[in-house]
Amino acid sequence: MTISDIRLTPREVAAHLETDELRQLVGLVEHDDASDPFPVVAMDAVVFACGNATQSMQYFVSTWGMTLVAYAGPETGQRSHKSFVLESGSARFVLHGAVDPKCPLADHHRAHGDGVVDLAMEVLDVDRCIAHARSQGATILEDPRDVTDQFGTVRLAAIATYGSTRHTIVDRSRYDGPYLPGFVARSSGFAARPGKPERLFQALDHAVGNVEMGRMDHWVRFYNRVMGFTNMAEFVGDDIATEYSALMSKVVANGNHRVKFPLNEPAVGKKKSQIDEYLDFYGGPGCQHLALATGDILATVDALRAEGVEFLKTPDAYYEDPQLRARIGTVRVPVEELQKRGILVDRDEDGYLLQIFTTPLGDRPTIFFELIERHGSLGFGAGNFQALFESIEREQAARGNL
């Protein structure tokens, strides 16, 4: 099998993505599905529980340039909660918000705040995947079942993962409705300001989970066993972790790397770990960040800043470090253009990537987004952990505070 054999989903075709473009955007590799115990077609959706899904929908449409495509709620017979479905390229977000105060979503939001409840994946054979997951000891939250409406039938099941997060798996090969049975097509009247790029991101690159100290390897093995995911080369070990970032990280991915799940755990560092802060405020393990792939991170960052999105600041010392300049070599724009926007660079043997992180999306210091533009690199920016924290310390030292 070669990369060109990767089957685009109907949604990716509709979004005018091409295989080579997707390969570049999210770093796809060759893979033979035949020996895969849990073959995954693609991410199906990232499902959020929101305190106010109606307003979050407007935020994702107006600020993040997403397209509203489907809806379910009291008007369509779903009395307990509203659900909005948004797309950007091959990425799909689903936002749920409680209408009925007795809806379990209201309790979930009270406990966790806004966050990701489901990282749904599209598969070809739900029953085969669930049989394998069950044989490996996974908790099956929902057994395979058909759900039908006038657009056809989907087959769905759900597997528990870290915290209160789940993986719905769905076979939608016999379905052509706007999302799932019960949803109706819906669009937004929003008109983007002139000159704003039509789409700010094309695909989901990776979804990161934060788990408790000492639990990272448990969840790595869970994905190895239950979904046949393999470990990617990149990891952040305790040498970098304890000195700078106070986290450790490993990455698991499905065969062709369409689905990539980095897993973080706190490490004992100089300061309180950012992972501990997340666990305190989310109330346990959960999704820390979603990386959104873009082909032009400079234009995307400029458009998002114009809408008021805030990003983590990168100290000038990061860009002025001769070691960093030597490490990153030549990238597609002058380093000054990156510095102006605070965009980070990392390079490995396969190429380089550009990345930047937003501040938390909601009130709690929990979920945030990353933007990523890949040029061959299959990494996640581990080189930036050390470079960024060292440069912060250099600035601290310059102020006489280290």
16 is in an annotated binding site: no
Pair 345, 319: CB distance under 8 Å: no
289 is in an annotated binding site: yes
Pair 120, 44: CB distance under 8 Å: yes
| 111 vs 283: CA distance, rounded Å | 7
Return the range that interacts with Fe ion (CB under 5 A); candidates 46-54, 164-172, 366-374, 391-399: 366-374
Return the range that interacts with Fe ion (CB under 5 A); candidates 111-119, 172-180, 265-273, 283-291: 283-291
Which are the contacts of 351, defined by CB distance < 8 A and separation ≥ 6?
374, 375, 376, 377
Q: Which is nearer to Fe ion, 73 or 379 (CB)?
A: 379
Q: Which is nearer to Fe ion, 263 or 338 (CB)?
A: 263
Shortest distance (Å) from residue 233 CB to Fe ion: 15
Return the range that interacts with Fe ion (CB under 5 A); candidates 29-37, 287-295, 299-307, 387-395: 287-295
Q: Which is nearer to Fe ion, 85 or 263 (CB)?
A: 263
Shortest distance (Å) from residue 171 CB to Fe ion: 29
| 93 vs 266: CA distance, rounded Å | 28
The two structure tokens encoding residue 227: 């979904």
Shortest distance (Å) from residue 262 CB to Fe ion: 6
Pair 390, 322: CB distance under 8 Å: no
Return the range that interacts with Fe ion (CB under 5 A); candidates 22-30, 184-192, 310-318, 367-375: 367-375
Per-residue x/- track, 239-278, Fe ion (CB under 5 A): ----------------------------------------
Q: Which is nearer to Fe ion, 180 or 252 (CB)?
A: 252
Shortest distance (Å) from residue 35 CB to Fe ion: 29
Return the range that interacts with Fe ion (CB under 5 A); candidates 54-62, 88-96, 170-178, 291-299: 291-299
> Under the criterion CB under 5 A, does residue 129 sit at the interface with Fe ion?
no
Q: Which is nearer to Fe ion, 123 or 259 (CB)?
A: 259
Which are the contacts of 125, defined by CB distance < 8 A and separation ≥ 6?
39, 171
Shortest distance (Å) from residue 332 CB to Fe ion: 20
Options 15, 287, 291, 303; binder of Fe ion; rule CB under 5 A:
291
Options 370, 371, 374, 384; binder of Fe ion; rule CB under 5 A:
370
Shortest distance (Å) from residue 397 CB to Fe ion: 28
The angle, 0 to 180 degrees and rounded to 10, between the axes of the packed helices 126-135 and 216-227 is 130
Shortest distance (Å) from residue 266 CB to Fe ion: 17
| 287 vs 142: CA distance, rounded Å | 21
Give residues in contact with Fe ion (CB under 5 A).
291, 370
User: Residue positions in the annotated binding site for Fe cation?
Assistant: 206, 289, 370
Annotated binding site: 206, 289, 370
